[in-house]
Structure 1
Amino acid sequence: MANMLHLQKLSVGTDGIDDLSAWQDQRRAQTPDGLPRHVTRMWPKRADELLAGGSIFWVIKGTILCRQRILRLDAHDRGDGIRRCAIVLEPGLVPVAPTRRRAFQGWRYLAPGDAPPDLTAARQGEDALPAELSAALAEIGVL
């Protein structure tokens, strides 16, 4: 079995985890079988490692706030003949320890040892902090 690997991706235009969840609930953000997906121009060269249990870690306003397990990679064509990659995701967003990230384009690979841990079950019931506050607290090492 291949080594596992994750992706990190900017969630452009979202203000928080609830906003990303609402976007993924829209039909246009789903596969024909109803699973959330993210369509990207490039096909990951390390697909086998991603499919060995990897997740996509969502960067919202400069901070990784949540993740979703990657289920599969589907070919996707928007009718223009250009082959794209639909990263098909497990439904539901798993909150993680807020971790600052600089802006980048596209997506980046993320080694499992560098991935932020999931929030404990006790903390998952808490109201989410605003993304800006989470980012500021992560910046000074409080979160």
Structure 2
Amino acid sequence: MDKFVNLVKLSVGSESVDTLIDWQATRAAQSEDALPRHVTRMWPKREPEILQGGSIYWVIKGAIQCRQRILRLDEVIGVDGIRRCAIVLEPAVIRTETALRRPFQGWRYLKPEDSPADLRDQRIDDDSLPIELATALAEIGVR
């Protein structure tokens, strides 16, 4: 498989994976072809690696909780005339193991080997743990 890299980004304002999904369903969060997107000021320097299979891992309430595959990067010019990068995403949101992250600005690169694992299929329909409990378990290395 080709070498790829992921991004990790805070989902500011999201209370849960479900609120992220709800936001992405709004027209304001979509590209012209109705795919979810996230607009950011900076253009990733490692674009070729991202587009070879990378995902964006979303940090919600201090922990990575899900990811989405990155489909493409689109140029967006704001009303202020500034060029921005729209990270266009696959609509499917894949829940992941909880992985703690301290607050940061912008996005960071995330190596595949450092990325949290996707939840196994049989765990997808399990009742979600409260984020506080999931975070506590992640802190002690149980989850």
The normalised TM-score by structure 2 is 0.96
Please give the secondary structure, in 2, of the residue aligned with 1:71: strand
Percent identical: 61
- Quote the Cα distance in structure 2 between the aligned partners of 1:100 and 1:108: 14
Shift of 1:22: 0.4
Q: What root-mean-square deviation, in Å, do the aligned CA atoms of Structure 1 and Structure 2 show?
A: 1.2
Query: Bigger shift: 131-140 or 121-130?
Result: 131-140
Residue of structure 1 equivalent to 2:66: 66
Give 5+ residue unaligned stretches, structure 2.
none
- Quote the Cα distance in structure 2 between the aligned partners of 1:134 and 1:7: 22
Residue of structure 2 equivalent to 1:83: 83
Query: Bigger shift: 1-10 or 121-130?
Result: 1-10
- Quote the Cα distance in structure 2 between the aligned partners of 1:75 and 1:11: 21
Please give the secondary structure, in 1, of the residue aligned with 2:14: coil
Give 5+ residue unaligned stretches, structure 1.
none
Residue pair 1:16, 1:130 contacting (<8 A) in 2 also: no
Q: Cα deviation per residue 1:15-68 (whole Å; 9 max; x = unaligned)?
A: 110010000000000001000000000000000000000000000111000000
Shift of 1:103: 1.0
The normalised TM-score by structure 1 is 0.96
Residue of structure 2 equivalent to 1:34: 34
The amino acid of 2:95's aligned partner reads P
Please give the secondary structure, in 1, of the residue aligned with 2:95: strand
Residue pair 1:56, 1:68 contacting (<8 A) in 2 also: yes
